[in-house]
Amino acid sequence: MSTRTKLIVSAVVAALGVTSFASPARSSPSSQAPRETSLASFQGRTIDLSKSWEGAQACAVLSRTEVRCYASRKEEKADLASRARSVSASPGTGGPIGTLDWNECDDGWLCIYEHADFNGRKLSFNDEYWHVLDRWGFEDQTSSFTNNQGGGWFGCSGTDEGYLEDDARNYYLMHDCTAAAKMGSYNDKARNIKG
């Protein structure tokens, strides 16, 4: 093989090697950039959820940059319903926010709870990317869930599941239109979530 051919083959191999490192095989929380902030609005001020919920009982992750917290689930529901009336429901939600509530988890949302039987603090998501739960002071604290996504007025689609991931990269699948009052051996083990 000529020197020129060897150089071309080496260049192609190097390019292929760089390409394989640049594209991860599967999207997971550990392969994605972490969320940029743990800040949320609560009662007219900004709080850092990674340090303390400061009395908040429910928080809704509205986007990568907007998180709102509430003193009660009733207050959360009223605010989300008001937001839904002033703006269309988020893309991918099954229906208008504030309808078809299940375990105090609105239609189109995936909710996790601090304690069994849907009790304790509640954290809600309605998007399709991975979140690191430590950012919201919720690492190893999920004891029940409600996945009220994919349903709306027409029944479950079977395509809007959510996932929890523990520190050993074991996954817990949460099918759309399902709930678990207890998490069994996965209780208080979730480190990451995908809505």
pLDDT in tens, 113-160: 999 999 999 999 988 889 999 999 999 999 999 998 876 555 677 778
Structural domain count of the chain? 1
Residue 80: give the domain boundaries: 27-194
Q: Residue 171 domain-assigned?
A: yes
37 by Cβ neighbours in 10 Å (0-12 / 13-18 / 19+) ranks as: middle
For the stretch 34-52, pLDDT in tens is 445 799 999 999 999 999 9
pLDDT score at 149: 87
What value does the CA radius of gyration of the chain take, rounded to a whole number of Å? 20
Q: Residue 22 domain-assigned?
A: no
CATH assignment of the domain containing 107: 2.60.20.10
112 by Cβ neighbours in 10 Å (0-12 / 13-18 / 19+) ranks as: buried
Q: Residue 50 domain-assigned?
A: yes
Q: Residue 10 domain-assigned?
A: no
Q: Residue 178 domain-assigned?
A: yes
CA distances to 68, 73, 137 from 49, in Å: 11, 17, 6
With a pLDDT cut of 70, the percent of the chain lying above it is 70
pLDDT score at 186: 95
Q: Residue 11 domain-assigned?
A: no
Residue from 162, 161, 170 nearest 189 by CA: 170
CB 160 within 8 A of CB 109: no
Q: Residue 174 domain-assigned?
A: yes
What is the token pair recorded at 103? 């375990």
Q: How far apart, in whole angstroms, are the C-alpha atoms of residue 179 and residue 174?
A: 8
Does the pTM surpass 0.85? The reply is no
CB 65 within 8 A of CB 131: no
3-state secondary structure of 100: coil
Residue from 37, 40, 38 nearest 57 by CA: 40
Q: How confident is the model at residue 86 (pLDDT cuts 50, 70, 90)?
A: low
Strands 162-165, 192-194: pairing is antiparallel
What is the token pair recorded at 142? 């999920």
